[in-house]
Each structure stands twice: as structure tokens, then as C-alpha cells.
Amino acid sequence: MKNKINITTLILLFTIVGFSQNKSTTTVSLDVYYSKIQAEKKPQIIDARGAEEFALNHINGAVNFNLESKDYAEQVAKLDKSRPVFTYSIGAGRSVWLADDLLKKGFKEAYSLEGGIANWIGNGKPFYANSKSKLTLAEYNKIVADNKTVLVDIGSKYCGACIKVKPVLETIRAQYGENLKIVEIELETSPQVIADLKTVKVFPTLILYQNGKIVFKKDGLGDLKNDVDVALASK
């Protein structure tokens, strides 16, 4: 039994190390990604998310396919292997795998965007959206100004980590009631306010305000419930 556990542990370790190495060879920061795109006359940008996600919002000029697309080989054949390819997704999963596969297929350069579409839109880079945001920056600022304590959850319904935030928010809402205003912002319905805030690098992003000032900003879920409890207990 002990040997089986050790073997399983080693396999898991090698898998994690292997993924980290793959990620480090293709994943780049937003600044690097954007500057490289700007240097291209007709950049080859690939949105590796699903078709529904792409239809709602995407980087200007991007095409949509991933490793699971039925016409994957056909789409790859349309690309120029001698020029850089830029991939992105909701985070760093599908885009990393796609970039790695393109390199294996002989492409000269392939880059995956760290933080994905969240990082791009969240820092105000140009994007397409099929509808106007339900929430404006002015309305957002008014909510923060009109409420003593505000917890903001910024994410996407297509983000697995974002889905895990929801039950935690319900627990927090039940505990604090009217003493805490919770605002949930999704990329699919309010992309422009996410762009205007220029503070989002990943999904989910959690921001706690008190008296109009930021108490904490979290990139990722972490131990949200404890962080809120600690922050509010000290006020």
C-alpha cells in the first residue's frame, strides 16, 4: 500500500512539474503579449474558449477554435507557421494546451496570455462585446459610495473557480445580512465596467470596500469567508 501511495505521489509531482514547465514556455504577461501583438500587421490571435463564450466577447481580430474543435486541423492549416500565434482562454488552461500543441506542430512562436480574457479586458485593452454592460462604472462607484461595506465578486459563468465562489457568498450574505452589500459582476453581462475598473487580472477577483476604501483585493477565491470575517472584525 505504501509503495502505491509513493508511486501515485511521484506521478502527481511529475504531472505538476511538467505542466508548470509547459506553462512557463508559452505563457507571457499582458504587457509582453500586447506589445508583440502590436508589432504584427495582421496578428494571429486565437480564442481557445467555447463558441458561446466567443460570441459574447473576445479580443478584436481573434478567431475561435481549440484542441477539441472538429475542424482543428483545418484551422491550424490556415495559420502561418513562420509568424507568432497568440492564444488565450478564460484562464490558462485551453490556451496553454493549444500554444504547446502549435509549437509541437512546428510553429516558430506561440504565446498564451497569463490571466486570459480577464486580464485583457480587466486592464482596458480593446475588445468586442455583443451587448452593452448592464452595470456602468458610475453605477458601480455609487454603490460603493452609498454603502458602508461592499463585497464585489468579479468573474464569469464559464469560470470553474468563479462558480465555487457562489456558495461562499451565500454563506457570507446569510451571516451579515443588510450590513454587507454584495455585488456580483459577470464578464458576460457587464464587460465594460470590468474594463473601466482596470484592476482585474484573473477570475475571480474579490474586492472588499469599507467607507469607500478598499480593505482587500483578492485574485482568486482563497479563504474568502475567513478574510471577510477578519477584515470586518477589525473595523
Query: Model confidence over 84-102: pLDDT tens digits?
Result: 999 999 987 899 999 999 9
Q: Are the CB atoms for 97 and 24 separated by under 8 Å? A: no
Assign 229 a pLDDT band (cuts: 50, 70, 90). very high
Q: Average pLDDT, whole number, for the chain?
A: 90
Domain ranges of the chain: 2-129, 137-233
* CA distances to 71, 94, 107, 124, 131 from 98, in Å: 14, 6, 11, 25, 28
Q: Say yes or no to pLDDT of 4 above 50.
A: no
Nearest to 188 by CA among 56, 48, 49, 52: 56
> Which listed CATH number (1.20.120.140, 3.40.50.720, 3.40.50.300, 3.40.250.10) goes with 2-129?
3.40.250.10
* Average pLDDT for 17-42: 78
Assign 235 a pLDDT band (cuts: 50, 70, 90). low
* Average pLDDT for 146-164: 96
Assign 172 a pLDDT band (cuts: 50, 70, 90). very high
Q: Do domains 2-129 and 137-233 have the same CATH topology?
A: no
Grid cell 458576460 in the structure block, residue: 188
Active-site positions read: 159, 162
Looking at the domain covering 137-233, what would its CATH class be?
alpha beta
